[in-house]
């Protein structure tokens, strides 16, 4: 396995100094081809459709240098689970591509073909994971267990935690760019060279569209929080489609406490982008199931202050929310001064009340000594008579 840490390349590599195999592994909106480097086994070259503009070159350089600032644990996550860019491919003064590590062999499996034949090993994508067991069995892939789905989801969130910690916006969470290893539960993200720091240009991700960001707008960490929550929901349940349609399956099959359900529900439905949970919150509740916790405000990302629904999000019926169980009580508040209790017979909401004098029966329950009125009354009458006699004129 090749990684950013063991890269043999300089920051800039002349395209003529490497040899590509000529076998196209893939292509995308930004790239015309991705090919293995026969001159450097374990590495691939991604060739851009058009040379990068100066701002994009500067952004790519910042990405390549970013791991230098990471801790050993963060770098280990990055090396293990991402195709992080290691070198710009140049043709003279133009940046025409980038070099990244190839996904390890565990992320490739042969698929069943018609006639009992098998294909050459192909990428095992998130697209395959988000399906039911029958589909995977027909494909020739061993269906992941519940525990394996949990491990895969945590793996993706671990990457998300590192990216968010350094304000890296991936944005391209999708069915094709995320790979998984059905044997070990490992994960691998592709196309990391397109990440931005703070923001990144719009990129279309069919069926992963964040309703808060209209087409063409710059994406921020808030979009990653939305798409990571959606990825989490789909990985665990193996279902796709409208996000809220998967909550019934999540509640049925993942009885891990209200915390997970309500964090995901909040991430996908809140109109306040500061309320979208961080990847670290999702990862924590997956590893330590428990009741729902109070929401924490987070930075929604650059220049994003409101929620603008677009597309089908406006048409979601409110009744779908009813399938999510009510949140458990949050952590108890800090104790304060005691308030007088409101009598049970008092109508209306609880409010501050003046304390009523304790009755004789209450005093007896509290250990007090009530006054002996049968004895006191005659003494009062005698005292009044004496006072009256003394005040008579002589």
The tens digit of pLDDT for each residue in 323-375 reads 334 444 434 344 444 443 333 333 333 332 333 344 444 433 334 444 454 55
pLDDT at 23: 77
Q: Is the pLDDT of residue 392 over 70?
A: no
The more confidently predicted of residues 375 and 29 is 29
Q: Is the pLDDT of residue 145 over 50?
A: yes
Would you place residue 120 in the very low, low, confident or very high pLDDT band (cuts 50, 70, 90)? Answer: very high
Question: Is residue 212 within 8 Å of residue 273, measured between CB atoms?
Answer: yes
Q: Where in the chain is the domain with CATH 1.10.510.10?
A: 106-327
Q: Is the pLDDT of residue 108 over 80?
A: yes
Please check whether the domain covering 1-102 is classified as CATH 3.20.20.150: no
For residues 280 and 165, what is the distance between their CA atoms, to the nearest angstrom?
9
Mean pLDDT of 66-72: 97
Please classify residue 338 by burial: count the beta carbons closer than 10 Å to its beta carbon, then call 0-12 exposed, 13-18 middle and 19+ buried.
exposed
Place of tokens 């067991």: 133
Q: Where are the beta strands (DSSP E) in the chain?
A: 12-14, 20-26, 31-37, 43-48, 85-91, 94-101, 108-109, 122-123, 168-169, 178-180, 187-189, 196-197
pLDDT at 258: 67
pLDDT at 353: 33
pLDDT at 288: 85
Q: Is the pLDDT of residue 182 over 70?
A: yes
pLDDT at 205: 85
Would you place residue 317 in the very low, low, confident or very high pLDDT band (cuts 50, 70, 90)? Answer: very low
Would you place residue 316 in the very low, low, confident or very high pLDDT band (cuts 50, 70, 90)? Answer: very low
Tell me what the pLDDT averaged over the chain comes to: 79
Span 268-299, pLDDT tens digits: 999 899 999 999 999 999 998 765 555 544 44
Please classify residue 70 by burial: count the beta carbons closer than 10 Å to its beta carbon, then call 0-12 exposed, 13-18 middle and 19+ buried.
middle
Question: Is residue 188 within 8 Å of residue 213, measured between CB atoms?
Answer: no
pLDDT at 121: 93
Secondary structure (3-state) at 182: coil
Domain 106-327, CATH number (from 1.10.3720.10, 2.40.50.140, 1.10.510.10, 1.20.1090.10): 1.10.510.10
Q: Where in the chain is the domain with CATH 3.30.200.20?
A: 1-102
**Window from 106-110, 144-148, 292-296 with minimum mean pLDDT:** 292-296
For residues 160 and 187, what is the distance between their CA atoms, to the nearest angstrom?
12
The more confidently predicted of residues 321 and 201 is 201
The more confidently predicted of residues 350 and 230 is 230
Q: Is the pLDDT of residue 221 over 90?
A: yes
Would you place residue 137 in the very low, low, confident or very high pLDDT band (cuts 50, 70, 90)? Answer: very high
The more confidently predicted of residues 97 and 309 is 97
């Amino acid at each position: 396995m090749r990684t950013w840490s063991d890269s043999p390349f300089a920051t800039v590599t002349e395209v003529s100094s490497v040899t590509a195999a000529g076998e196209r592994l893939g292509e995308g909106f930004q790239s015309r081809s991705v090919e293995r480097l026969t001159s450097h086994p374990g590495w691939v070259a991604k060739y851009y459709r058009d040379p990068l503009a100066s701002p994009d070159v500067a952004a790519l350089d910042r990405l390549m240098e970013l791991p230098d600032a990471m801790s050993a644990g963060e770098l280990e996550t990055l090396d293990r689970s991402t195709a992080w860019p290691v070198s710009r491919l140049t043709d003279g003064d133009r940046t025409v591509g980038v070099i990244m590590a190839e996904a390890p062999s565990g992320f490739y499996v042969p698929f069943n073909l018609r006639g009992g034949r098998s294909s050459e090993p192909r990428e095992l994508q998130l697209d395959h994971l988000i399906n039911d067991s029958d589909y995977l069995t027909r494909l020739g892939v061993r269906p992941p267990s519940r525990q394996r789905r949990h491990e895969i989801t945590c793996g993706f969130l671990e990457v998300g935690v590192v990216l968010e910690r350094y304000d890296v916006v991936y944005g391209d969470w999708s069915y094709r760019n995320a790979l998984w290893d059905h044997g070990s539960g490992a994960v691998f993200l592709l196309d990391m060279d397109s990440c931005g720091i703070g923001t990144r240009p719009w990129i279309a991700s069919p069926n992963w569209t964040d309703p808060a960001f209209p087409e063409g707008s710059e994406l921020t960490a808030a979009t990653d929080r939305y798409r990571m929550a959606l990825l989490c929901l789909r990985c665990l349940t193996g279902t796709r489609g409208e996000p809220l349609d998967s909550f019934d399956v999540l509640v049925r099959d993942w009885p891990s406490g209200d915390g997970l359900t309500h964090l995901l529900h909040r991430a996908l439905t809140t109109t306040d982008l500061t309320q979208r949970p961080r990847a670290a919150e999702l990862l924590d509740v997956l590893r330590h199931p428990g009741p729902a916790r109070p929401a924490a405000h987070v930075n929604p990302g650059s220049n994003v202050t409101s929620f603008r629904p677009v597309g089908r999000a406006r048409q979601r019926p409110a009744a779908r929310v009813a399938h999510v169980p009510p949140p458990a009580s949050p952590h108890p508040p800090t104790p304060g001064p005691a308030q007088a209790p409101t009598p049970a017979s008092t109508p209306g909401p609880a409010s501050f009340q003046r304390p009523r004098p304790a009755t004789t029966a209450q005093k007896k329950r509290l250990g007090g000594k009530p006054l002996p009125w049968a004895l006191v009354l005659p003494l009062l009458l005698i005292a009044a008579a004496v006072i009256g006699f003394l005040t008579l004129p002589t």
